[in-house]
Amino acid sequence: MRIFIPIFLLVLFSYSAFSSGRTDSLLKVLKTEISRRKFYDDQKEARIRKLKDRLSHTSVNALEEQFEIYNKLYEEYKVYQFGPAYVYTSKLEVISKKLNDKPKYYQSKIKLGFILLSAGMFKESFDCLNQINARIISDSTKIEYYSIKARAYSDLADYNNDINFTPHDNELAIKYIDSALILCKPGSYEQYRLLADRQIATGNTDIPSIYLVRLLLYYPLTNHERAMASTGLSNFYTTPDQLEERIYLLEVGAINDIRSSTKETLAAFKLAEQLYYKLGDINDSYILIQHAQDDAQYYGARLRKIKIAAVLPIIAAAKNISTENEESRLQIYLLSIVAVSLVIILISFIVFIQLKRLKVKEAIIGEKNVQLEKINDKLSEDAHIKEEYIGYFFNLISGYILKLEKLKRNVERKITTKKYDDLLLSINEINIKKERDSLFYTFDHIFLKIFPNFITVFNSLLKKEDQIWPKDNEVLNTDLRIFALMRLGISDNETIAAILEYSVNTIYVYKMRIKAKALIPGDEFDHKIMAIKAVDVLSKA
């Protein structure tokens, strides 16, 4: 039976939180419902507003209709809020007197006795119930009357908790339960509920009540009725090995109390006690005892507030101690984090400084590498130029030496033979202009071999109409040759004039005339000329 109860409750109720299976915690569902209790209370308040609106449109002479509306308002308030419930029971009494209807009057008294008992006002409740003449009320009303009197004596027995008074109170409770059972229809909700109450009153709780099990399994209960049945059934699970089932049933009761907006409730309070005293669950028990206190204060249940007040300080103190311990652990944790953070910051700062220094050094090295690369390119270019020109000019000079040697032998022979006229003819065979042109031709070819794009780049610095291109029979002309010598590093006008056999002034005029036509300033023009790459450098790029 212990295993059977949770299983059938799970199947029967089908809470939305169980959609993923039994693995979800019912306690988590309960805490979620506590956070949503305003939603359920708002629904009840909406029903109450509709009844009050209907009442405001009811004629003052329509006493029967007024009685009906007041009765419905009482039903909404009876486990929700004591004050308004008391007001509407008083109005029911007034209307029943106007109608001169004793049964209705006694019904009103029974309702008043119920809310007085719910508020923990035993004397007032008994005084009210003792005024009722049970002989003139209907059987259904008698069942309600005897049930409330039975509950009054049962609650009084629980409140007294004394060997002198409690047994007598329990006897009277059983007596009124039996009186009500005689009038119940077999198999009715009232019969099963009262039979279960009788088991509790007689102390016959060793075996779970089959009557409450039947109600939960087979009857279409309201949320409030399901809460009462589940909470009542928890009284049959009192041994340590039944703790899980007891807590489960109390959770079901508390959930349905919230969903039915029942403030006159016992499940949350009992569940808080079980979680704290049996499981040591301080946080959840504190949430539930606070919830139970809020409900008791909202309803106005005096006796319930007294019971809660006896337990709340104990749980609250444990909660404070737990919170203080949590705060101490948190402080230690935070201090540890701060200490570690400071160490990390210090290390990060040191690393940052080192990285910054490293970046500066890397930047310097990068600059030096760029400079070295430029120097290497320049050296490679210069070496290439020298290599080309030295080779060509060695060949050229060797040719001139052979010519001179031949001329020398020829001159010596003619002088020896005294052929002076032939000597003059031999000297006249030497064509200086032709030799100079040959020299320039050789220079131009070697230069364009080293700087094949020189003419193109040179002309890109001039307007189209001012560009200088060699003629068909030329390799380089004088203008291009001047700047070709500059590109080779010969920037002195005197040296250029000597090589080209022009005056220094002429070389100067040539330069200035071309720079004046350039698309860029003169100094920048010189830099562009010097930036023209040799063929080896171009192939690298």
Separation CA 438–CA 444 (nearest Å):
10
- Residue 415 shares a structural domain with residue 447: no
Q: What is the mean pLDDT of residues 273-286?
A: 91
Nearest alpha carbon to residue 10 among 2, 214, 18? 18
- Residue 173 shares a structural domain with residue 247: yes
Contacts 24+ apart (CB under 8 A), 129-134: 132/106, 133/102, 133/106
CB count within 10 Å of CB 453 equals 14
The answer on pLDDT for 6 being more than 50 is no
- Residue 345 shares a structural domain with residue 463: no
- Grade residue 208 by pLDDT with cuts at 50, 70 and 90: very high
Residue pair 92/70 in contact (Cβ under 8 Å)? The answer is yes
pLDDT at 502: 85
Final residue belonging to a domain, choices 369, 397, 425: 425
pLDDT at 392: 57
- Residue 444 shares a structural domain with residue 369: no
Q: Supply 469's token pair.
A: 């291109």
Q: What is the mean pLDDT of residues 221-250?
A: 94
pLDDT at 472: 78
Separation CA 371–CA 365 (nearest Å):
10
- Grade residue 10 by pLDDT with cuts at 50, 70 and 90: very low
- Residue 405 shares a structural domain with residue 517: no
- Residue 366 shares a structural domain with residue 452: no
Final residue belonging to a domain, choices 207, 239, 269: 269
- Residue 85 shares a structural domain with residue 159: yes
Separation CA 417–CA 198 (nearest Å):
169
Residue numbers of the domain that contains 421: 321-425
- Residue 224 shares a structural domain with residue 358: no
pLDDT at 494: 87
Residue 418 resides in a domain: yes
Task: Give just the sign of the alpha carbon dihedral 24, 29, 35, 41.
Answer: positive
Average per-residue pLDDT in the chain?
84
pLDDT at 7: 44
Q: By mean pLDDT, which of 34-38, 286-290, 348-352 is the weakest? A: 348-352
Instruction: Output 363 or 225, whichever has higher pLDDT.
Output: 225
- Residue 220 shares a structural domain with residue 255: yes
Final residue belonging to a domain, choices 379, 403, 425: 425
What single string gives the DSSP state of each residue in 20-65? T-TTS-HHHHHHHHHHTHHHHHHHHHHHHHHHHHHHHTS-TT-HHH
pLDDT at 74: 96
- Grade residue 316 by pLDDT with cuts at 50, 70 and 90: confident
Sequence-distant (≥ 6) Cβ neighbours of residue 179 within 8 angstroms? 142, 146
- Residue 263 shares a structural domain with residue 358: no
Q: What is the CATH number of the domain that holds 67?
A: 1.25.40.10
Q: What is the mean pLDDT of residues 143-150?
A: 96
Residue 467 resides in a domain: yes
CB count within 10 Å of CB 153 equals 22
The answer on pLDDT for 61 being more than 70 is yes
Q: Supply 440's token pair.
A: 């320039």
Residue 168 resides in a domain: yes
CA distance to 53, 363, 453, 454, 517, per residue, from 464 (Å): 100, 43, 17, 16, 10
Residue 193 resides in a domain: yes
Distance of CA 297 to the CA centre of its chain: 39
Residue 310 resides in a domain: no
Q: What is the pLDDT of residues 459-514, one digit of tens each?
A: 888 888 888 898 878 888 888 888 888 888 887 888 888 888 888 888 888 888 88
Task: Return the axis-axis angle of helices 37-56 and 243-259, rounded to nearest 10°.
Answer: 40
- Residue 363 shares a structural domain with residue 215: no
- Residue 142 shares a structural domain with residue 192: yes
- Grade residue 301 by pLDDT with cuts at 50, 70 and 90: confident
Residue 159 resides in a domain: yes
Instruction: Output 465 or 361, whichever has higher pLDDT.
Output: 465
